[in-house]
Structure 1
Amino acid sequence: MTVSDEGLDTQVVIVGGGPVGLVTALLLARWGVRSTVLERRTEPSPLPRARALTAPTMEALRSLGLERRVRAAALPVEVTGRHYYFGRSLTDPDFRRLARSRSSRLTEASAVAPAICTQDRLEPVLRTAVRGTPAVTLLTGAEVTSVEPRADRVEVGYRSRGARPGRVCRAAYCVAADGAHSVAREAVGIRMSEPEETSHNLNILFEADLDPLLADRRSAIYFLDSGEVHGYLMPGDGARRWLFNQILDGPYRPATDDTDRCADAVRRVLGPGGPPVSVVDRQRWTGVSRLAERFGEGRLVLVGDAAHVVTPFSGIGLNLGVQDACNAAWKLAGAVLGWGGPALVRSYEVERRAVAAWTIAEDRETMRAARPSGAPPDDQAGMGRWGHWYGRMLERRNDQGLVFGYHYDSTAVLPDGSPPPSNDDPFGSYVPCGRPGHRAPHTVLELASGARVPVADLYGPRFTLLVGDTASAVPDRPPVRVHQVASAEPGTDWTQLYGIAKDGAVLIRPDGHVAARYPSVPADFAGVLGKDLRRLVGEVR
């Protein structure tokens, strides 16, 4: 049975309306679950903040019908280039460029390409989508004052900015998506691990016409060290807006952040003859990585930066949060709609906290590698204090294993006793594997209907059952859709890829991870499948 709506204002209340909170709301809406998003800001931040969207994140946005809109807002390759730039300034005649790694496994891992879409451009796309979704109510300017999980509901107190008295939103569940300084997390007493500070920084958002300076040096990121100023430059809107992250460690820590000083810092790394610079905004930040001791408390779950914090340098933080949302949304839908039990919601923490811990460990290693040291006396490369990083860039930016290769081990997965694939570099390389808990390997399937579809396009608000020579009846709850596969793209045997026989089957969860596989289906497959599904979702009958 479904959770009773009696006395509730909504089914799920989401604290925080940044990208992760908005994606969570949209994913819940696909299941028909109503949510209310409480966001303290009235407008998105003008600072670009996160910018890299991995292929799995773009898959999630594609499933929501947003891929085209996000790509329209993203920076085209013509703007970002496919290189990393190293030099004393943007006009340094002795600059060096390093070609970005294009892993041959990238196209094997997904049908969807990654994108560079800064948060200030992504968030308006998501807000527009949310406002066009009847199942979602977005309240901006809503400051959360309390979060109280109870036995049968969560009560979230909030007030409109400057207004009193406050209001209370009652929901079956609460998702805390309100960032590193989460009010919701602190309200229930969940602590964060001690931070490991890696660098002190100043983001300087500015406008300038840099096109005349770029010519043959256009790149995704520009690592610059003028001697007095050190940091990295990134394109903002693809035209005149840029973000310079000045690293303030050691001798690079100025006393003030006034407009004139920030403009002077930018001019120094642009080099002689640079264009006029107009500072739009600036913000100091400290690079830290932290992990919440728990990812939930009763009917409250933590996602995104409320649950874990990684440094912007790794480029993975927003993506980590979106995958949290993909994992949590279907489990919360099961609990709200009545086909999922308490164990299903608890499996969210088991699965995602392990992935976050691994990501944080790798993020810290990346920052230790990137942290500038004194340039050697014989450095003639024009890279200053970035010389050591030039040699490690491709090593630490080739993170296909981190993006695609993690797997889950919880009650929401039915193990089959098989070992994980051998991988000497689990951070850098990805080995596709149909083992339960792993990401369902990408291929383009030809269905019995004649349609040719990438595996990820089959997912939705349901489980997905791929079968070869065997058809099967499936239960209504939880929802399952059966796809009979005739073949895969040329050169691919989909049954071999998934580790099953021609009469086998694979059950894939709504978040794209393999729930169970059946090398050869048993005679009473419908009965076996029904029993397995009940186990996966928490033994709800």
Structure 2
Amino acid sequence: MKESRVPVLVVGGSLVGLSTAVFLAHHGVKCLLVERHPGTSVHPRAVGYYPRTVELLRGVGLEEAVLKAAAGFATHRTRAGVVSLAGEELFAREEMDGEDDLAGVTPCRLLLLTQDRLEPLLRARAEQLGADLRFGTELVSFAADADGVTAEVAHVDTGARHRVRADHLVAADGPRSAVREALGVPRTGRGVLSRHVSIAFTADLAAALRGRRFSVVHVQNPEVRGILVHDDTLRMGTLIVEYDPARGESLDDFTDRRCTDLVRAAIGVPGLPVEIRSRFPWDMAQLTATRYVDGRVLLAGDAAHVIPPTGGYGANTGIADAHNLAWKLAAVLSGTAGPGLLETYDAERRPVGELAAAQGALQLAVRSRTATPAEQDAVLDAQAVTMGYRYGAADDLVADPRTRHAETGTRAPHLMLARDGGKTSTLDLFGAGFVLLAGSGGAGWCTAAVTAAAGLGVRLAAYRVVPAHAAPGSDLLHDAEGAFGDAYALADDGAVLVRPDGFVAWRSDEPQPAPARTEAESVTAALRRILAR
């Protein structure tokens, strides 16, 4: 049997697995991804990605490609209720009202793009960066030990087997994760709330749409009750309907004939030519794994948390899992961090997964009109859920990102600064290594940070943020609006240290746990703590 060695084996080649491969390859980590299906998703599945997710794609050079692919969805902004697409409209409201209010928070915007179109872009970028992606290959078995994981994979068509030795295994193999089940990791939560089947179809929707464009359509008539979404060609869509095994219903009931009848009823055009492209069964559930780290195996995406889709948090949370995990794996594998850094993946991401799952369930209750007044009040703004959380905080887990000012554990704020004759977002400084940002009087912190990082073998860039009239310099960023101090709640002689994932890890104005140190000693101590060294 052929054998090979790889730093990271990724199991699962959907959105989260592919994102993991992209982020790992971006950090220079060689990985092997195996996916039992022959290619990327043929089903639309997830469709909406919040600005924070787009920021993560921007950081690996994908923003331009995804925006181009999503251009046709730009006018798909209305959520509506209808008797049928061609029939009576019961309500309509704009999905993205208030989006302009985010201009000061992020350079990115909400992205509408079906999963079957996003996955090929992720796949191409992962391969371009050097990831080894093997579709039509499934995980047969694995065994973890103190030093790594030995896995056996097989080609689905030929049965040819291959043994892989990896330092770490990332399980991104979905809600029914075979890896999680083999590890015996329990899940908590409300469990399965309902069972659904998504019916992907081809039909001419132009006449029924009558010039309108929808992000989501709620259909309710005597023949069908469900959710309908359509793409930008107006020829492809998905109808999501519920079925109940307790009433004797099963997936076997959804024959091509029945699916065609349901789609025609939802569109409201009898006899309309319809082609059923695929059926995708799934469970609406609220479940979170009790641990995301099990020795050398790490859970991500739906393998770690199953989130009701009503808030659109599932894919977004999973991609953020991958982003958090990738830089930590890279640091541990390169020897610049201790193995304890990977334990922080569970400590940081599990509370966020639980928050997102709970918020998805609350959104479901509100939309189904079963929410109590207290539950309605507990629903959070989507931007707070996706970019306003704080790692390591028990009482301050989530807040409006507009109120975040570079507290430790939070996403470093976006701010436009002048650099090299142009303008850049602070977010574009992050992603390769650590970044220290200091006020105009913080030159000492910049020197100290570079010295400390060199002594530890850590990649770090240091910049001073100075007024617009200051002379140019390679380590200077010019603040034309004088907004840096307020945005980062920082004095002129202060500094913040930002991790490769764009989260603030240390501030110079934090109380020191030890007696007074030099600036270099303070940064060295901070880096050692962050990197578990």
TM-score normalised by length of structure 2: 0.87
Residues 198 and 492 (structure 1 numbering): CA distance in 2 closer, same or farther, change over 3 Å?
A: farther
Q: Which residue of structure 2 lines up, in the alignment, with residue 378 of structure 1? A: none
1:289-326 deviation digits (Å, cap 9, x = unpaired): 21111101111111111111112332111111110011
| Preserved CA contact (<8 Å) 1:143 1:160 | yes
Residues 94 and 74 (structure 1 numbering): CA distance in 2 closer, same or farther, change over 3 Å?
A: closer
Residues 117 and 230 (structure 1 numbering): CA distance in 2 closer, same or farther, change over 3 Å?
A: same
Q: Which residue of structure 1 lines up, in the alignment, with residue 296 of structure 2? A: 299
Q: Which residue of structure 1 lines up, in the alignment, with residue 268 of structure 2? A: 271
200-209 or 158-167, larger mean C-alpha shift: 158-167
Equivalent positions of 1:5-404 (< 5 A) are 9-74=5-70, 76-80=72-76, 82-100=77-95, 101-134=97-130, 136-164=131-159, 166-193=161-188, 195-215=190-210, 217-236=212-231, 238-248=233-243, 256-272=253-269, 275-371=272-368, 398-404=381-387
- Whichever structure has more strand as a proportion of its residues is 2
Q: Which residue of structure 2 lines up, in the alignment, with residue 499 of structure 1? A: 489
By how many angstroms is 1:532 displaced? Answer: 1.0
1:529 maps onto 2:523 in alignment: yes
Q: Which residue of structure 2 lines up, in the alignment, with residue 484 of structure 1? A: 464
By how many angstroms is 1:400 displaced? Answer: 1.7
1:252-285 deviation digits (Å, cap 9, x = unpaired): 9687111111111111122246842222122332
| Preserved CA contact (<8 Å) 2:431 2:502 | no
Match of 1:434 among 406, 420, 431: 406
175-184 or 249-258, larger mean C-alpha shift: 249-258
SS of structure 1 residue aligned to 2:435: strand
1:514 maps onto 2:508 in alignment: no
| Preserved CA contact (<8 Å) 1:85 1:217 | no
By how many angstroms is 1:490 displaced? Answer: 5.8
Residues 63 and 78 (structure 1 numbering): CA distance in 2 closer, same or farther, change over 3 Å?
A: closer
| Preserved CA contact (<8 Å) 1:190 1:292 | yes
SS of structure 2 residue aligned to 1:301: strand
The one-letter amino acid paired with 1:484 is R
Residues 372 and 284 (structure 1 numbering): CA distance in 2 closer, same or farther, change over 3 Å?
A: farther
Q: Which residue of structure 1 lines up, in the alignment, with residue 475 of structure 2? A: none
| Preserved CA contact (<8 Å) 2:226 2:242 | yes
By how many angstroms is 1:523 displaced? Answer: 8.2
The one-letter amino acid paired with 2:238 is L
Residues 430 and 404 (structure 1 numbering): CA distance in 2 closer, same or farther, change over 3 Å?
A: farther
Residues 523 and 494 (structure 1 numbering): CA distance in 2 closer, same or farther, change over 3 Å?
A: farther
1:460 maps onto 2:434 in alignment: no
| Preserved CA contact (<8 Å) 2:152 2:162 | yes
157-166 or 449-458, larger mean C-alpha shift: 157-166
The one-letter amino acid paired with 1:462 is G
| Preserved CA contact (<8 Å) 1:420 1:435 | no
The whole-number CA distance in structure 2 between the counterparts of 1:436 and 1:138 is: 36
The whole-number CA distance in structure 2 between the counterparts of 1:253 and 1:167 is: 40
By how many angstroms is 1:237 displaced? Answer: 5.0
The whole-number CA distance in structure 2 between the counterparts of 1:203 and 1:453 is: 42
97-106 or 52-61, larger mean C-alpha shift: 97-106
SS of structure 1 residue aligned to 2:228: strand
Q: Which residue of structure 2 lines up, in the alignment, with residue 376 of structure 1? A: none
Residues 78 and 252 (structure 1 numbering): CA distance in 2 closer, same or farther, change over 3 Å?
A: farther
The whole-number CA distance in structure 2 between the counterparts of 1:105 and 1:348 is: 31
SS of structure 2 residue aligned to 1:332: helix
The whole-number CA distance in structure 2 between the counterparts of 1:165 and 1:204 is: 33
1:318-366 deviation digits (Å, cap 9, x = unpaired): 1111100111111111110001112211001000001111111111111
The one-letter amino acid paired with 2:501 is D
| Preserved CA contact (<8 Å) 1:57 1:322 | yes
The whole-number CA distance in structure 2 between the counterparts of 1:517 and 1:450 is: 29
The whole-number CA distance in structure 2 between the counterparts of 1:75 and 1:88 is: 29
By how many angstroms is 1:30 displaced? Answer: 2.2
455-464 or 519-528, larger mean C-alpha shift: 519-528
The whole-number CA distance in structure 2 between the counterparts of 1:213 and 1:397 is: 35
| Preserved CA contact (<8 Å) 2:204 2:235 | yes
The one-letter amino acid paired with 2:362 is E
Q: How many correspondences in the alignment?
A: 503
SS of structure 2 residue aligned to 1:197: strand
1:414-440 deviation digits (Å, cap 9, x = unpaired): x9xxx859x8xx4x7752321100111
Residues 265 and 252 (structure 1 numbering): CA distance in 2 closer, same or farther, change over 3 Å?
A: farther
1:74-121 deviation digits (Å, cap 9, x = unpaired): 2534551x2111121112245421122324542222101121111111
The alignment yields a C-alpha RMSD, in angstroms, of 2.9
The whole-number CA distance in structure 2 between the counterparts of 1:491 and 1:226 is: 55
Residues 430 and 290 (structure 1 numbering): CA distance in 2 closer, same or farther, change over 3 Å?
A: farther
| Preserved CA contact (<8 Å) 2:196 2:281 | yes
Residues 302 and 109 (structure 1 numbering): CA distance in 2 closer, same or farther, change over 3 Å?
A: same
SS of structure 2 residue aligned to 1:334: helix
The whole-number CA distance in structure 1 between the counterparts of 2:380 and 2:227 is: 15
Q: Which residue of structure 1 lines up, in the alignment, with residue 470 of structure 2? A: none
SS of structure 2 residue aligned to 1:357: helix
The one-letter amino acid paired with 1:32 is G
SS of structure 2 residue aligned to 1:98: strand
Q: Which residue of structure 2 lines up, in the alignment, with residue 406 of structure 1? A: 389
By how many angstroms is 1:165 displaced? Answer: 6.0
Higher relative contact order (CA 8 A, sep 6+): 1
Residues 397 and 201 (structure 1 numbering): CA distance in 2 closer, same or farther, change over 3 Å?
A: farther
| Preserved CA contact (<8 Å) 2:80 2:89 | no
1:497-521 deviation digits (Å, cap 9, x = unpaired): 1111012111111111111112499
| Preserved CA contact (<8 Å) 1:16 1:39 | yes
The one-letter amino acid paired with 1:199 is S
- In the alignment, structure 1 segments of 5+ residues that lack a partner are 1-6, 374-387
Residues 339 and 204 (structure 1 numbering): CA distance in 2 closer, same or farther, change over 3 Å?
A: same
The whole-number CA distance in structure 1 between the counterparts of 2:325 and 2:32 is: 16
By how many angstroms is 1:288 displaced? Answer: 1.0
SS of structure 1 residue aligned to 2:524: helix
By how many angstroms is 1:467 displaced? Answer: 1.4
The whole-number CA distance in structure 2 between the counterparts of 1:105 and 1:179 is: 34
Q: Which residue of structure 2 lines up, in the alignment, with residue 4 of structure 1? A: none
- In the alignment, structure 2 segments of 5+ residues that lack a partner are 468-477
